[in-house]
Amino acid sequence: MAADETPKSGQAKPPGTLRLKIDTDALAKNWQALRSMGGSAQAGAAVKANAYGLGVDRAVPALRDAGARDFFVAHWCEVYDVARHVPAEQISVLHGLLTPQDAAYSKAIVARPVINSLHQAKLWLDAGGGTCDLMVDTGINRLGLPLSQIGDPLIAKLDIDILLSHLASSDEDSPLNQLQLSRFGQVCEAIPARRRSLANSAGIALGKDYAFDLTRPGLALYGGVPRGELAQSIRQVAFPQAAIIQTREIGRGDSVGYNASFTASGPMRIGTVSLGYADGFLRSWGAKGALMHGGARLPLLGKVSMDMIVVDLANAPELAEGDWLDVPYALPEAAAASGLSQYELLTVLGSRFSA
Ligand SMILES: *Cc1c(COP(=O)(O)O)cnc(C)c1O
């Protein structure tokens, strides 16, 4: 069956065995907390990568209703989905322009490119120009106009709404933060723009000096805590859950899963859970990981498979097929347990979760 064909039976899709609960109230409160930490600055929202894996359709309306007016995506292909919820002129595309087609698409859909180089500035001006944003690289050496080129006549021709730069080490106490702040101050004096923006989530916690006119939180909106100062104000947003699809009794000497990496030392009851690395539950969770049921901790046994993991049911003997387990996803703790970054934990979540 081709991907765009639906079964003709008229039968609704069955409920499924993976859920991703999104606490949109926590999401809105996180945005408001970050917004007020920025003092008089407005707060936007980074919603790239499908709102960090949580789903544009759930995240963007909640952020919009909380008051966000500036949305950042990385790719042009992300604009359309966000623009179903907010006016396209409130969307900035961080990767900017690579081809004249990008410029034509930008004009047609009326989302703004973030111009990152003289090449991009020329593409935009050749396409007729119009309001854009401009990223200047103040030290991350990744994307953005080098400081040595800010005086170029092409830049003077741009009609700039947001002038931005991005911090490399805002989640650390690094001298690079202060250096980027002072360089950005110089950039702001040299380049006229309607609004100035430097801070991501962690940058907001560095203090009001970093907030300028507009902040660009991402991770912390979705429950990430990149700096300790944010721990008290940021609440968990994403709550993955997976169902048990089989239970069994095994005995001493029986092994579990691929390569028999766990062997039982005595009789035990185990549960096979519908969650695997294809869903973003990567093998790095390994032997230290556990799922939860109420207060009961259910340690992982053996290797993570593509679609399944196996847990020890000793601490919750009443559990049976169809019961739901919580995947521990408080991001700072989950990052420590899995070795993944808080960003990775969110963005690897797969497409088989339902609401
Ligand atoms: C992703 C991104 C952000 C958001 O960063 P967080 O660390 O997730 O808050 C802000 N600005 C730019 C340019 C980005 O690429």
270: domain CATH number is 2.40.37.10
Q: Give me the helices (H) in 236-348, please.
A: 331-338, 342-347
Answer whether 0.85 is exceeded by the pTM: yes
Write out the two tokens for 340: 């993944």
Per residue in 127-186, pLDDT tens? 999 999 999 999 999 999 999 999 999 999 999 999 999 999 999 999 999 999 999 999
Q: How far apart are CA 277 and CA 341, in angstroms?
A: 16
Whether residue 18 is contained in a domain is answered as: no
Task: Judge contact between 95 and 105, C-beta under 8 A.
Answer: no
* Confidence bin at 11 (pLDDT 50/70/90): confident
DSSP tally for the chain: helices H, then strands E: 11, 19
Angle (CA) 322-235-345 rounded to 5° is 60
CA of 182 to the centre of ligand 1 (A): 19
d(CA 352, CA 15): 11
Cα gap 261→14, rounded to integer Å: 34
Question: 93 CA distance to ligand 1 centroid (A)?
Answer: 12
Q: Which of 157, 208, 258, 288 is catalytic?
A: 258
| CATH (domain of 205) | 3.20.20.10
Active-site pick, 13, 21, 29, 48? 48
Task: Answer for the pair 221, 30: CB distance below 8 angstroms, yes or no.
Answer: yes
DSSP state of 194: S
The pLDDT assigned to 287 comes to: 77
Same domain, 127 and 39: yes
155 shares a domain with 117: yes
- Give the torsion sign (CA, 173, 179, 183, 186): positive
Portion of the chain with pLDDT greater than 90, in percent: 95
The minimum-distance atom of ligand 1 relative to the CA of 164 is 13
Whether residue 1 has pLDDT greater than 50 = no
- Within this chain, do residues 155 and 210 fall inside the same structural domain, yes or no? yes
Q: Are residues 51 and 134 in the same domain?
A: yes
Q: 81 pLDDT exceeds 80?
A: yes
> Cα separation of 209 and 189, whole Å?
15
Substitution site in 141, 171, 216 for ligand 1 pocket (most atoms within 8 Å of beta carbon): 216
Structure tokens given for 92: 């900035």
Q: Which percentage of the chain shows pLDDT scores above 70?
A: 98
* pLDDT at 2 > cutoff 60: no
For residue 73, report the distance from its CA to the centre of ligand 1, in Å.
9
Helix (H, G, I), strand (E, B) or coil at 78: helix
pLDDT exceeds 90 at position 3:
no
Together in a domain, 158 and 117: yes
Q: Report helix, strand or coil for 24.
A: helix
Is the pLDDT at 229 greater than 60? The verdict is yes
> Could you report the per-residue pLDDT of 272-327, keeping only the tens digit for each?
999 999 999 999 998 789 999 999 999 999 999 999 999 999 999 999 999 999 99
Q: Whose CA is nearest to atom 15 of ligand 1?
A: 94
Angstrom distance (rounded) from CA 126 to CA 119: 11
In a domain, 19, yes or no: no
Under the banding of pLDDT at 50, 70 and 90, the label for residue 209 is: very high
Atom of ligand 1 at shortest range from CA of 201: 9
What is the extent of the structural domain holding 308? 238-347
What is the structure's pLDDT at 7? 64
Q: Are residues 242 and 218 in the same domain?
A: no
329 noted as active-site residue? no
DSSP letter at 55 equals -
Q: How far, in Å, is the centroid of ligand 1 from the Cα of 226?
A: 12
Cα–Cα distance measured from residue 242 to residue 325, given in angstroms and rounded to the nearest whole number: 5
What total of structural domains would you count in the chain? Answer: 2
Query: Looking at the structure, do residues 184 and 276 belong to the same domain, yes or no?
Result: no
Distance 45 CA to ligand 1 centre (A): 9
Looking from the CA of residue 74, the nearest atom of ligand 1 is 15
Cα end-to-end span (Å), the chain: 25
229 within domain boundaries:
no
Ligand 1 shell residues, CB under 6 Å: 46, 48, 94, 166, 200-202, 216-220
Average pLDDT score, the chain: 96
User: What span, in angstroms and rounded, lies between the C-alpha atoms of 198 and 217?
Assistant: 10
